[in-house]
Amino acid sequence: MKSEAAQNKNYVLPNLVTILGLFCGFYSIIATLNGNYVMAASATLVAFIFDGMDGKVARMLNATSDFGIQLDSLSDLVSFGVAPAILVYKWALAPYGRLGWMAAFLFVACGALRLARFNVQTKKIDPRFFVGLPIPAAAGVIVTSVLFAKEFFGDPNSMTVPVWFTFTIYILAFLMVSNIKYYSGKTFIQQKSYNALVVFVLFIFVLGLYPELFLFLLSTGYALSGLLYLAYVRLKQPKRDKEVETGENKL
C-alpha cells in the first residue's frame, strides 16, 4: 500500500494543475486591465488546457477528492467566468454603461449557477451529455470572438461589434442555466480512440492555418449544437408519437 506521504503527494499534483489554470485566469484579468486584450484571451485559452488536465491527472493518480472538485469549480469561475466577463466589458461593452456591466455580471452569475448545478448533479446525469452549456465553452465563445474580431475587424470602433457581444453575452448566460443538453465527448474519446486521434490531427492542422477563424467557428458551433440537438429532438418527437398512436390503433 502507498504510504500516507506518497498519497498526499498524489493529491498535490492535480490541485497544482488547477492552480495553474487559476493563475491563467488571474493573468487574463491583469492583461485586460492593461489593455492587452489578445494576451488576455490567449491566457484564457491556456487555462482550457489546465482545466482539461487536472481531472485526468487526478484519475490517473487515483487522487480524486471533494476538495479538488471544489477547487476546480472556484478556478473555473475565475478563469472562465470573471476573466472573460471583464475582458468583453473592457473591450466592447463599456460604451453601453449600465447595460454593459450588467451583461458582464449576468454572465458571471449564470456561470456560478452552472458550476453549482454541475457539482450537485454530476453523479445523476447521463455522462454522454452536459446539462446546460459548460462555462468553459461559454468563455470560449467570448475569447475566440475577441480574437476573431480583432484579427478581421480591428478595435470595436463601430457599434456593430458591441451590439454583437451584448447579444452574445445574454444568449450564453441563458444557455448556461438552461436544461439544453450538450454532447460531452467523453464516450467518443473512450470508445473510438482512432477516430479521436484523426479528429485531433485535423484539429491541429486547421488550427495552424486559420487559428482565430477556426477557434471562433469551433466554439460558436459547439454553443449552437445544443440548440440544434434540441430542435432535432423536438422535430423527431411528433413522429415517434404518431408511430406509437398508429401501433395502439392497430391493437
CB-CB contact of 120 with 184 (8 Å): no
- Cα 240–Cα 245–Cα 247 angle in degrees, nearest 5: 95
pLDDT of residue 1: 47
pLDDT of residue 166: 87
How many domains does the chain fold into? 1
The answer as to whether 132 is a domain residue is: yes
Name 15's Cβ contacts closer than 8 Å, sequence gap at least 6.
Answer: 54, 67, 68, 71
- SS3 assignment for 135-189: HHHHHHHHHHHHHHHHHHCCCCCCCHHHHHHHHHHHHHHHHHHCCCEEECCHHHH
pLDDT at 162: 74
DSSP code for 106: H
Q: What is the pLDDT along the chain (251 residues), one digit of tens a residue?
A: 455 555 566 778 899 999 999 999 999 999 999 999 999 999 999 999 999 998 888 888 888 888 988 999 999 999 999 999 999 999 989 888 888 899 999 999 999 999 999 988 877 777 788 999 999 999 999 999 999 988 887 776 555 677 888 889 999 999 999 999 998 876 655 555 666 666 767 777 777 778 888 899 999 999 999 999 999 888 887 665 555 455 555 55
246 is a domain residue? no
Q: Which string of b and e fits 18-41 if b means at least 16 CB within 10 Å?
A: bebbbbbbbbbbebbeeeebeebb
Residue 139 lies in a domain: yes
Q: What is the pTM of this model?
A: 0.84
Structural domain that includes position 97: 4-241
C-alpha to C-alpha distances, 26 to 157, 173, 198, 225, nearest whole angstrom:
27, 21, 34, 30
Query: What pLDDT score was predicted for residue 187?
Result: 62
Helical spans, DSSP H, in the chain: 4-33, 37-60, 66-77, 83-88, 98-121, 135-152, 160-177, 186-191, 193-209, 211-250
251 inside domain: no
- The three-class DSSP label of residue 209 is helix
Domain at 55, CATH number: 1.20.120
Structure-block grid coordinates of residue 171: 444568449
